């Protein structure tokens, strides 16, 4: 796709939401409708796509009622199925950007990536599966680059907050930022909260096939990134975090993988000093530690056997203690849930040489936002697409398979997110 067509001027639609009738896809449809005035020229041309026309019609009808926008009933519908490549080709030829909401991506993602590249449509997903994300980079980066197509994965809660959060923290630090730890806390209201089981399934099959990820990474032939300044501190699998005043565990999502890929890109392509990064999630008090340890050991054991994986898929609520469910969260649960992602960074103040001595400066930043899975994720995904459409001159010069931080470092994405309820803020910066 030529650079001049990134805004979608020569195609019927700026954005096509693929998988619009899925659990997350429905919320993405609503978010696209809310952002319609932010498209090129103040008007976004968009369509929905999926396997079943009737289900897509129902999604549009419900969105029309929920948003009081009767015009949504006339949004164009495209019937496309991952199992039928020709239908994907037809879909991709009609849109400047395809927002892919069909997961687990390890099973259904590659045909969509391939069809987008071959038919000149940019691709954005909300994948939190490192094996798929890195596999697509290995397999398709050169071809996407040659075609001028951007393939940007992990544009949901996994992993725009973490990736752009590191970029934001670095931009607020006066000196050389060398290491960052992030801590995620999720607050739920009286109704509690849960996550749809599509995310649960991705985790099951990702853990079961973890050896493939290690062999995949060897194929890149990457040299280790240089460690600038003091090495980041190591913590245990369970520990009490003074930073957030609760017990914490390593974050098991795609954030560390995505951030590392971004830091590698910035180091190799722009000679920027890489930032070391580790991610944690707060789990609460001592009782939560026991419950998490038990659930984690059971999950780890059961993913090793096909019958165990089958049971995990069939009964997500039982084996996750209600964290995941086939029904997903209710509207009240989502409205009562919010997240806070805190970044604690250290480095060397202006004029200090990072190769000598201990870090002498620290910084704390935060990102706060609404329920992460089905409110924040549609916001980050849609704003990534809006940014790609409106700021093609600020993207890397050529296409390719990119992380959010690699693609959007030169754009106003953070400002756009701030205006849509995903707030980036500096808490403090000081010499130590």
Instruction: Summarize pLDDT for 250-279 with one digit per residue, the tens.
Output: 998 899 999 999 999 999 999 999 999 999
Collapsing DSSP to helix, strand or coil, 237 comes out as coil
Please give the pLDDT value at position 1. 40
Taking 70 as the threshold, does the pLDDT of residue 5 lie above it?
Answer: no
Separation in Å, CA 195 to CA 83, 326, 329, 337? 27, 8, 6, 11
Please give the pLDDT value at position 8. 62
9 pLDDT band, cuts 50/70/90, is low
- Determine which helix (DSSP H) or strand (DSSP E) holds 415, and give its type and residue range: helix 413-419
Find the mean pLDDT for residues 359-377.
97
Burial (Cβ within 10 Å: 0-12, 13-18, ≥19) of residue 155:
buried
Kindly report, residue by residue over 213-229, the tens digit of the pLDDT.
Answer: 889 999 998 989 999 99
0.85 surpassed by pTM: yes
Kindly report, residue by residue over 68-77, the tens digit of the pLDDT.
Answer: 999 999 999 9
CA–CA separation, 304 and 256 (whole Å): 24
Please give the pLDDT value at position 230. 92
pLDDT, greater one: 352 or 75: 75
Find the mean pLDDT for residues 322-329.
89
Taking 90 as the threshold, does the pLDDT of residue 2 lie above it?
Answer: no
> Does residue 93 contact residue 119 with C-beta atoms inside 8 Å?
yes
Give the single-character DSSP code of 69.
-
Mean residue pLDDT across the chain: 93
CA–CA separation, 302 and 305 (whole Å): 6
- Give the lowest-confidence range in 115-124, 352-361, 418-427: 352-361
CA–CA separation, 406 and 395 (whole Å): 9
Kindly report, residue by residue over 178-225, the tens digit of the pLDDT.
Answer: 999 999 999 998 888 888 888 888 888 888 788 888 899 999 989 899
Taking 70 as the threshold, does the pLDDT of residue 21 lie above it?
Answer: yes
> Does residue 62 contact residue 26 with C-beta atoms inside 8 Å?
yes
- Domains in the chain, please, with CATH? 3-156+376-414 (3.40.50.720), 160-285+328-372+423-431 (3.30.360)
> Does residue 349 contact residue 175 with C-beta atoms inside 8 Å?
yes
> Does residue 126 contact residue 377 with C-beta atoms inside 8 Å?
yes
Taking 80 as the threshold, does the pLDDT of residue 3 lie above it?
Answer: no
Work out the percent of the chain whose per-residue pLDDT is above 70: 98
Taking 90 as the threshold, does the pLDDT of residue 333 lie above it?
Answer: yes
CB environment 5-27: b (16+ within 10 A), e (fewer): ebbbeebebbbbbbbbbbbbbbb
């Amino acid at each position: 796709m030529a650079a001049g067509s990134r805004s979608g001027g020569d195609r019927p639609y700026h954005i096509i939401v693929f998988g619009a009738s899925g659990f997350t896809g429905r919320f993405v449809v609503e978010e696209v409708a809310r952002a319609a005035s932010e498209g090129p020229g103040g008007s976004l041309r968009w369509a929905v796509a999926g396997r079943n026309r009737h289900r897509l019609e129902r999604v549009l009808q419900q969105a029309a009622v929920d948003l009081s926008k009767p015009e949504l009933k006339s949004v164009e519908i495209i019937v496309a199925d991952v199992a039928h490549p020709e239908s994907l080709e037809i879909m991709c030829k009609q849109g400047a950007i395809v927002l892919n909401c069909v997961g687990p991506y390890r099973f259904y993602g590659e045909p969509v990536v391939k069809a987008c590249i071959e038919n000149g449509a940019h691709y954005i997903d909300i994948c939190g599966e490192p094996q798929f994300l890195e596999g697509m980079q290995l397999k398709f980066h050169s071809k996407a680059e040659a075609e001028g197509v951007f393939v940007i994965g992990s544009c949901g809660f996994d992993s725009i907050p973490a990736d752009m959060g590191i970029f934001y923290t670095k931009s607020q630090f006066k000196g050389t930022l060398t290491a960052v730890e992030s801590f995620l806390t999720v607050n739920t209201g009286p109704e509690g909260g849960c996550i749809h089981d599509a995310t649960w399934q991705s985790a099951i099959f990702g853990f079961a096939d973890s050896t493939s990820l290690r062999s995949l990474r060897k194929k890149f032939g990457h040299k280790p990134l240089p460690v600038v300044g003091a090495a980041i501190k190591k913590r245990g699998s369970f520990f009490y975090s003074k930073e957030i005043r609760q017990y914490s565990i390593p974050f098991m999502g795609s954030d560390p993988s995505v951030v590392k890929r971004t830091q590698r890109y910035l180091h190799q392509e722009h000679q920027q000093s890489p930032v070391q990064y580790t991610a944690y999630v707060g789990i609460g008090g001592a009782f939560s530690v026991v419950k998490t340890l038990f659930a984690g050991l059971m999950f780890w054991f059961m993913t090793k056997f096909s019958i165990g994986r089958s049971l995990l898929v069939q009964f997500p609520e039982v084996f996750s203690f209600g964290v995941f469910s086939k029904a997903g969260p209710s509207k009240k649960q989502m409205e009562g849930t919010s997240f806070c992602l805190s970044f604690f960074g250290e480095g060397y103040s202006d004029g200090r040489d990072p190769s000598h001595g201990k870090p002498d400066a620290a910084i704390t930043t935060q990102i706060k936002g609404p329920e992460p899975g089905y409110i924040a994720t549609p916001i980050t995904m849609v704003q990534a697409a809006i940014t790609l459409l409106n700021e093609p001159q600020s993207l890397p010069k050529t296409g390719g398979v990119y992380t959010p931080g690699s693609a959007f470092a030169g754009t106003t994405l953070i400002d756009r997110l701030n205006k849509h309820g995903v707030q980036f803020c500096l808490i403090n910066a000081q010499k130590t």
